[in-house]
Amino acid sequence: MRSLIIFSTITISMLLGIKTVTQQEAMASQYMFNGLFVNPAYAGSHKFFSTTLGFRKQWVAVEGAPQTMVASIDGPLMDNKMGVGLVVANDQIGVSRNTDIVANYAYNIKLGEGKMAFGLKAGFSQYKATVSDLTYWDQEDPIYSSDLVGQTIPRFGFGAYYHVPAKWFAGLSIPTLVAYQKDHKFNLNVHDASFLRRHYYLMGGYIFTIDDKWKIKPSTLIKYVKSAPVQVDINCNVFFKDMIIAGLSYRTGDAMVAIVQYQANQQFRVGYAYDYTLSQLGDYSKGSHEIMVGFDFGKDVPTVRTPRFL
pLDDT tens-digit map of 225-263: 888 889 999 999 999 998 999 999 999 988 999 999 999
Q: Regarding predicted confidence, which is higher, 285 or 156?
A: 156
Residue 198 pLDDT grade (very low, low, confident, very high; cuts 50, 70, 90): confident
Domain contains 222? no
Q: Regarding predicted confidence, which is higher, 187 or 268?
A: 268
Lowest mean pLDDT among 99-108, 146-155, 243-252: 146-155
**pLDDT tens-digit readout, 208-235:** 999 999 999 999 999 998 888 899 999 9
Please give the average per-residue pLDDT across 89-118, as a whole number.
Answer: 93
Indicate if the pLDDT at residue 158 is higher than 80. yes
How far apart CA 134 and CA 120 sit, in angstroms, is: 38
Indicate if the pLDDT at residue 266 is higher than 90. no
Indicate if the pLDDT at residue 65 is higher than 90. no
Residue 16 pLDDT grade (very low, low, confident, very high; cuts 50, 70, 90): very low
Domain contains 278? no
Q: Regarding predicted confidence, which is higher, 153 or 122?
A: 122
pLDDT score for 11: 47
pLDDT score for 24: 59
Residues 203-220 as b/e (b if ≥16 CB within 10 A, e otherwise) read: bbbebeeeeeeebebebe
Domain contains 265? no
Q: Of 273, 228, 179, which Cα lies nearest the Cα of 23?
A: 228
Indicate if the pLDDT at residue 1 is higher than 60. no
Residue 12 pLDDT grade (very low, low, confident, very high; cuts 50, 70, 90): very low
Q: Write down the mean pLDDT value for the chain.
A: 82
Residue 180 pLDDT grade (very low, low, confident, very high; cuts 50, 70, 90): low
Domain that holds residue 194: 2-216
Domain contains 257? no
Number of domains in the chain: 1
Lowest mean pLDDT among 21-30, 110-119, 138-147: 138-147
What percent of the chain clears pLDDT 70, i.e. is strictly above it? 77
Indicate if the pLDDT at residue 6 is higher than 50. no
How far apart CA 46 and CA 115 sit, in angstroms, is: 11
Domain contains 159? yes
pLDDT score for 307: 63
How far apart CA 153 and CA 159 sit, in angstroms, is: 20
Domain contains 251? no
**pLDDT tens-digit readout, 46-59:** 889 999 999 999 88
Given a contact cutoff of 8 angstroms between Cβ atoms, the answer to whether 218 and 203 are in contact is no
Q: Regarding predicted confidence, which is higher, 242 or 13?
A: 242
Q: Which residues contact 298 (CB under 8 A, 6 or more apart)?
A: 47, 48, 49, 75
How far from 28 is each of 68, 112, 173, 194, 204, CA to CA, in Å?
9, 31, 16, 24, 16
Domain contains 12? yes
pLDDT score for 36: 92
Domain contains 174? yes
Q: Regarding predicted confidence, which is higher, 187 or 89?
A: 89
